[in-house]
Amino acid sequence: MSVSIIVGAQWGDEGKGKIVDLLSEQADVVARYQGGANAGHTIVFDGRKFVLHLIPSGILHPNTTCVIGNGVVIDPVALMEEIHMLESMGISVAGRLHISHKAHLIMPYHKMMDAAREKGAGSIGTTGRGIGPAYYDKALRTGIRIVDLLDRDTLREKIRLNLDEKNRILQSLYGAEPLDVESMIDEYVAFDTQIDPYITDTTVLLNTAIASGKHVLAEGAQGALLDLDHGTYPFVTSSNPTSGGACTGLGIPPTSISSIMGVVKAYSTRVGNGPFPTELNDATGELLRTEGHEFGATTGRSRRCGWLDIPALRYSIMVNGISEIALTKLDVLGVLDEIRVCTGYEIDGRPVRSFPADLATLSRITCTYETFPGWKCSLEGVRTFAELPPQAQHYVEAIEQLLEVRISWVSTSPAREDTFRR
C-alpha cells in the first residue's frame, strides 16, 4: 500500500507544485483531490516555467499518469486552456490525464455568484473562480457532474433547473442579466466532446493502481489553514486541503496512506482576507514580497507576508498527520539581518495552548518571537545541507526542533534542481 499525500501546511503557495513535480519522478500516479482552478502551482525546470491550476503537477514527467479526482471542481474553460497550454509547450496530456466522472463542474453562474458575493459585505478575497458556489451546489445536491454530460437529456434538465433558480438570484440579488439555457447547454455539450477521452472511473483506476503496488502521490491544493473545517473559517476555501480530503476526494481508503508530507515555506504568506498573526505590514514584509516574488500565481494579487508561525504549523502538523516536511524558499531569507519566528501565542499575557477556532480570539493574539541571525548571502548553487551557511543550517535545525518533525527536503530556488534531501 503506497499512497503519499503532499499537503500545503500554511495558507497555500508553499511551493507544493515544485515539490510534487520533484517527487513525481518516483511516482506512477499523481492525483489532485480537491479545489479547482483557484490553485496556481508553479514549476520551473530547464529554464521553462509552467503554472498549473487543475492538472496535477506530475504531468511534466512523461511516464506519470495524472488524475483529477472526484473531489475537484472543474471549470471546463480553465481545463481546456491548460490542456492546450501544455500541448503547445510539448507536454503530451492525451492518454495520461484521467478525470473522475464524479467530479463536479463549475458553471458560468458559479463564477458570477462568486464575483457578486465578493462585492458585498464580508468579502473573503476569493480567487473569483466560482469555487464556493460550486461546492455549495454540491452540498445542496443540485450540482452538475461530469457524468451528467454523458446523457444530453439529464444535462439539459439539470441546467434548466439550476438556471430557473440561479437566474432569479442573479437578477434580484445582484442585478445581473439572466443566463440563456440553450447556449449554456450547447457550451457544455461541446465541452463534453472535448473531454470525453479523459473521463473515467478514477476511483477504480486508483484503487487498482494501489492494489498492484504502484506508487500514488496525492497532491493537495491550497493549505491546511484554508481548510473548510480546520482553517481560519470563514476566511477559507470551500474544500478540504488537509490530508483527510485525499481519501474522500479520490475514493481511496485511509488504510492505503503510507506517508504525509507537509510543504512549508520558510516564512508565511497569505492571499486574500482573514487572520494572519505574524503578518508584517512594514518594510520587512515588503522585502519578503519582492525577494520572494510573492504575487499570486492565479490572480496576480500581492501576497501578504509575515514570519514563520510555529503554533499554526504545529496545529497543521497535528490535523494533517504530517510526518516529514519539505522546507521551501529558504533563499528568500538571505536578505535579512535577522529572522524572527513566532514560537508562541498569548492572550492578555497568558499562553494560548491550541490554535483558536474563532476570529474574535485570533484577533486578540499576540505573538512571542525568537530571533535568529541572518546569513546575508545568496544560496545559489547550494545543493547540500553542509554547503548552507551555518546560520541557515541553524535556522532549519531550529524549526525542525520547534515543530518536532523532520525537514527532509530543502528548496533554495524555483528550479527543480535546486532542492536537496537531508
Binding mask 269-308 for ligand IMO (x = CB under 6 A): --xx------------------------x-----------
Cα–Cα distance, 149 to 124 (Å, whole number): 32
Residue 304 binds which entry of ligand IMO, ligand GDP, Mg ion, none, with Cβ cut-offs from 5 to 8 Å by kind?
none
Write down the least CB distance from residue 189 to ligand IMO, Å. 27
Write down the least CB distance from residue 406 to ligand GDP, Å. 18
16 lines the binding site for ligand GDP (CB under 6 A): yes
C-alpha cell at 284: 520587512
322 lines the binding site for ligand GDP (CB under 6 A): no
**Taking Cα atoms as reference points, which of 81, 62, 218, 74 lies closest to residue 148?**
74
In the region spanning residues 204 to 263, those forming contacts with ligand IMO, defined by CB under 6 A, are 221-223, 226, 237-238
Name which position in 98, 129, 166, 304 contacts ligand IMO (CB under 6 A).
129
Name which position in 39, 52, 327, 392 contacts ligand IMO (CB under 6 A).
39
Residue 268 DSSP one-character state = E
**Closest CB to ligand GDP among 6 and 405?**
6
In the region spanning residues 4 to 23, those forming contacts with Mg ion, defined by CB under 5 A, are 13
Cα–Cα distance, 269 to 274 (Å, whole number): 12
3-state secondary structure (DSSP) of residue 251: coil
Cα–Cα distance, 35 to 38 (Å, whole number): 7
**Closest CB to ligand GDP among 291 and 370?**
291
**Closest CB to ligand IMO among 40 and 311?**
40
User: Left if phi > 0, otherwise alpha if psi is -120 to 50, otherwise beta: which for 300?
Assistant: left
Spatial neighbors of 157 by CB under 8 A, at least 6 apart, are none
Name which position in 85, 91, 124, 181 contacts ligand IMO (CB under 6 A).
124
For cell 499570486, name the residue: 296
Write down the least CB distance from residue 44 to ligand GDP, Å. 5
Cα–Cα distance, 82 to 103 (Å, whole number): 17
Cα–Cα distance, 190 to 197 (Å, whole number): 13
220 lines the binding site for ligand GDP (CB under 6 A): no
Is residue 215 flagged as an active site residue?
Answer: no
Distances (CA, A) of 242 to 143, 230, 349: 23, 8, 31
Cα–Cα distance, 347 to 4 (Å, whole number): 37
Number of Cβ atoms within 10 Å of the Cβ of 302: 13
Spatial neighbors of 291 by CB under 8 A, at least 6 apart, are 332, 334, 335
Q: Considering 41, 61, 98, 110, which one is annotated as catalytic?
A: 41
Taking CB under 6 A as the binding criterion, the range among 39-47, 156-164, 253-261, 318-326 that sits at the site for ligand IMO is 39-47
Q: Distance of alpha carbon 376 from its chain centroid, rounded?
A: 31
Residue 356 binds which entry of ligand GDP, ligand IMO, Mg ion, none, with Cβ cut-offs from 5 to 8 Å by kind?
none
Give the CA count within 13 Å in the CB-facing half-sphere of 247: 10
Distances (CA, A) of 390 to 103, 224, 329, 397, 406: 48, 31, 17, 10, 18
Binding mask 146-185 for ligand GDP (x = CB under 6 A): ----------------------------------------
82 lines the binding site for ligand GDP (CB under 6 A): no
Q: Considering 13, 21, 28, 309, which one is annotated as catalytic?
A: 13
In the region spanning residues 71 to 90, those forming contacts with Mg ion, defined by CB under 5 A, are none
Taking CB under 6 A as the binding criterion, the range among 100-108, 126-134, 317-325, 337-345 that sits at the site for ligand IMO is 126-134
Q: Which residues pair with 51 in a beta bridge?
A: 42
Is residue 13 flagged as an active site residue?
Answer: yes
414 lines the binding site for ligand GDP (CB under 6 A): yes
Residue 234 DSSP one-character state = T
Taking CB under 6 A as the binding criterion, the range among 36-44, 285-293, 346-354, 369-377 that sits at the site for ligand IMO is 36-44
Taking CB under 5 A as the binding criterion, the range among 47-55, 130-138, 179-187, 295-303 that sits at the site for Mg ion is 295-303
64 lines the binding site for ligand IMO (CB under 6 A): no
Q: Between helices 76-88 and 181-195, what is the axis angle to 10°?
A: 40
* Terminal-residue alpha carbon distance, the chain: 25
| Residues at the site binding ligand IMO, with contacts judged by CB under 6 A | 8, 11-13, 38-41, 124-127, 129, 131-132, 221-223, 226, 237-238, 271-272, 297
Looking at the annotation, which residues are catalytic?
Answer: 13, 41
